[in-house]
Amino acid sequence: MRLIEGIENLTEKLPYPVLTIGNFDGVHLGHQAILQMVKERAKKENGTSIVLTFEPHPLKIIAIEKAPRLITPFKEKVRLIEDFGIEVVICIKFTEEFSKMEASDFVKNILVDVISVKEVFVGSNYLFGRDRKGSPELLKGMGEKYGFKVWVVQEIKLNDIAISSSEIRCLIDKGKVEEASRLLGRDYSIEGVVVEGSKKGKKLFNTPTANIATSSELLPKNGVYAVTVHLLDESPIEGKTYQGAANIGYNPTVGGERFGCEVHIFEFDKNILGRTLRINFAKRIRDEIKFHKTEDLALQIKKDIEVIKKILNSKQRLFSA
């Protein structure tokens, strides 16, 4: 896949461009349905499948107080789009100046003049341009004028729940990672680098934990989670899936003061300081609890591990690791 950062860096004409436009936070099932349509049309016409997206999220420029915490950082979003088989991602840097561009100018100056678009796929509620005045109807009208097709994709529901990035964020906030994963079409996950910790887990409970520094803006509700762990950078153990327990919160029993994420990886004793991990959240098993005795926490950790292994080894798991 080719990533073009900045519309000015698209200097050649792509064969029969078929594109979709949006933020694609989470790259959820609704997004995936549109991506599939783009792929199929591009393949049928011997064209190019394209995603046109923006960085940063527009609300971080025009109304920062309303800007959402993102499900997927930009690099992760691009990876997911690439995994889906899209050939080109064009990322436009969203600035205050760009936010003032009229919807009709965006279509004419970028979609028509630069990309030479042939087909556009958008969701039925997609709005764009200055003051969000651009709509699917405006796109259709300009498509007739400039000779490109517009396909409007209706909202997709799963069990009567409309699939949207905002709904998924809400579920993650509540710790409902199973429900969020259903709408994402994969396990909800975060990525991060293993950093130095207090080593209290190993000293007090013989359960060493990896402290994770993550660029993810959205972490699930405080608590303990069943997770699977993947080491992402090159090594002899890359690609293997490990089971584990993740704690989101402060670790109040051992005097933790900093909010964070730490993971105990089962049957694992290698030094992974500085390594990059992907943590897939399978299920929230309990709240974070402050125990009065470390012995009580040690006993609870043993129980948590037993519960988590049953969950992760269950054939009823939504997504197998």
> DSSP letter string over 36-100?
HHHHHHHHHTT-EEEEEEEES-THHHH-GGGPPPPSS-HHHHHHHHHHTT-SEEEEEE--HHHHT
Reading the chain (321 residues) residue by residue, the pLDDT tens digits are: 999 999 999 999 999 999 999 999 999 999 999 999 999 999 999 999 999 999 999 999 999 999 999 999 999 999 999 999 999 999 999 999 999 999 999 999 999 999 999 999 999 999 999 999 999 999 999 999 999 999 999 999 998 999 999 999 999 999 999 999 999 999 999 999 999 876 655 554 567 889 999 988 999 999 999 999 999 875 655 668 899 999 999 876 555 556 789 999 999 988 899 999 999 999 999 998 888 787 888 899 999 999 999 999 985 666 665
pLDDT of residue 321: 54
Q: Which residues contact 115 (CB under 8 A, 6 or more apart)?
A: 10, 14, 17, 19, 50, 52, 90
pLDDT of residue 238: 60
pLDDT of residue 226: 97
Is the pTM of the predicted complex or chain greater than 0.75?
A: yes
- Domains in the chain: ranges and CATH: 2-161 (3.40.50.620), 187-313 (2.40.30.30)
